[in-house]
């Protein structure tokens, strides 16, 4: 008689499930942060868009509702139509090219003069003592007040307009360069000097990078000034340019064309400012942004 040994049945105990609550909470928190970031970014973009859209809506509605005379302030859509008409027949490109050439020529010459001069005045006391009186005299003289002087000396051609732009752009860049160099943290300069930096290396590695934000503030102010004073100069004696376009359109009672020229000036100024902001960020990457 054979007997079989009974083997006990092994029962596998199930492993406890891992608690996934922390992972779900982390994913939820990350999703909430992403949603808040997207929402804040969208709101930062929407705020200026809402303001501009409201302004353009008022501009469009006011003449059509009779709140202002339609002859003197045409609706925005008519101005846009005139803008594209000028662009199609090539007049707008001609005037923009003429104004941009004059403005950029004077602007870059002013940078080449004002930045080195501002560094010299800020860094060397004898240079500051010698030039400060004459700078105080001319920086309080409006550029447009000297327009007749430039016209008398240089004529009504390109030279007088470019010279006026140079004069208007020089002082914002010069004064901000002086301020930027003089307000560099003295501890940075002492630390670099203690490491054995020469004067040239000190300027290259410490002073100029620290002064870049202030210098670019002056450059952006000068860019706006270059457009403004040039438009005024072109209204006096020019055969091409946005200032000439505005004045000629007014005299010929082509009011939509006049406003199209004004819109072109605004777009040109915004484009130049955006380019300068990108360059400033490129040169100021060392700054810690919060």
Q: Is the model's pLDDT at 49 over the cut of 50?
A: yes
Give me the chain's average pLDDT, please.
Answer: 81
Residue 256 pLDDT > 60? yes
Distances in Å between the Cα of 81 and the Cα atoms of 178, 244, 283 are: 46, 20, 40
11 pLDDT higher than 90: no
List the end-to-end C-alpha distance of the chain, in Å, as a whole number: 90
d(CA 271, CA 280): 14
For 51-85, how does the pLDDT look when each residue is reduced to its tens digit (9 = 90+)?
888 888 998 898 888 888 888 889 999 999 999 99
- What are the structure tokens assigned to 169, written together? 């752009």
- Under the banding of pLDDT at 50, 70 and 90, the label for residue 257 is very high
Please write the tens of the pLDDT for every residue from 78-115: 999 999 999 998 888 999 998 888 899 999 999 999 99
How many residues are given for the chain? 290
Among 16-25, 211-220, 230-239, 257-266, the range scoring the smallest mean pLDDT is: 16-25
CA distance 42 to 176: 34
Q: Which two tokens stand for residue 108?
A: 């870059």
pLDDT at 31: 61
Residues contacting residue 16 through CB under 8 Å, at least 6 positions apart? none
Give pTM, 2 decimals: 0.73
Nearest by Cα to 213 from 176, 174, 170, 172: 176
Q: Which of 156, 159, 164 is nearest to 225 (CA)?
A: 164
Residue 53 confidence (pLDDT): 86
Tokens of 206: 């410490």
- As given in the structure block, the two tokens for residue 248 are 């000629």
**Stretch 21-48: mean pLDDT, rounded?**
65
């Amino acid at each position: 008689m054979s007997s079989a040994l009974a083997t006990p049945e092994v029962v596998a105990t199930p492993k406890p499930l891992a608690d996934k609550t922390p992972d779900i909470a982390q994913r939820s928190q990350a999703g909430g942060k992403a949603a808040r970031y997207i929402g804040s970014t969208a709101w930062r973009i929407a705020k200026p868009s809402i303001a501009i859209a409201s302004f353009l809506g008022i501009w469009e509605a006011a003449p059509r509702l009779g709140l202002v005379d339609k002859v003197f302030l045409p609706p925005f859509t008519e101005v846009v139509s005139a803008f594209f008409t000028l662009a199609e027949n090539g007049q707008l490109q001609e005037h923009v090219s003429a104004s941009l050439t004059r403005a950029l020529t004077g602007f870059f010459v002013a940078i080449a003069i004002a930045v080195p001069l501002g560094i010299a005045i800020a860094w060397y006391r004898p240079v500051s003592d010698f030039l400060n009186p004459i700078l105080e005299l001319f920086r309080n003289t409006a550029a447009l007040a000297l327009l007749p002087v430039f016209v008398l000396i240089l004529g009504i051609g390109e030279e007088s307009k470019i010279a006026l732009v140079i004069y208007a752009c020089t002082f914002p860049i010069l004064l901000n360069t002086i301020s930027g160099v003089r307000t560099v943290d003295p501890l940075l300069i002492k630390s670099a000097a203690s490491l054995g930096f020469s004067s040239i290396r000190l300027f290259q590695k410490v002073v100029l990078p620290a002064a870049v934000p202030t210098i670019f503030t002056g450059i952006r102010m000068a860019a706006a000034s270059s457009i403004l004073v040039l438009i005024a100069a072109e209204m006096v004696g020019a055969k091409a340019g946005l200032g000439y376009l505005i004045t000629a359109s007014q005299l010929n009672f082509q009011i939509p064309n006049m406003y199209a020229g004004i819109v072109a000036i605004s777009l040109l100024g915004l484009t130049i400012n955006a380019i300068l902001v990108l360059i400033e960020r490129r040169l100021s990457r060392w700054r810690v942004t919060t």
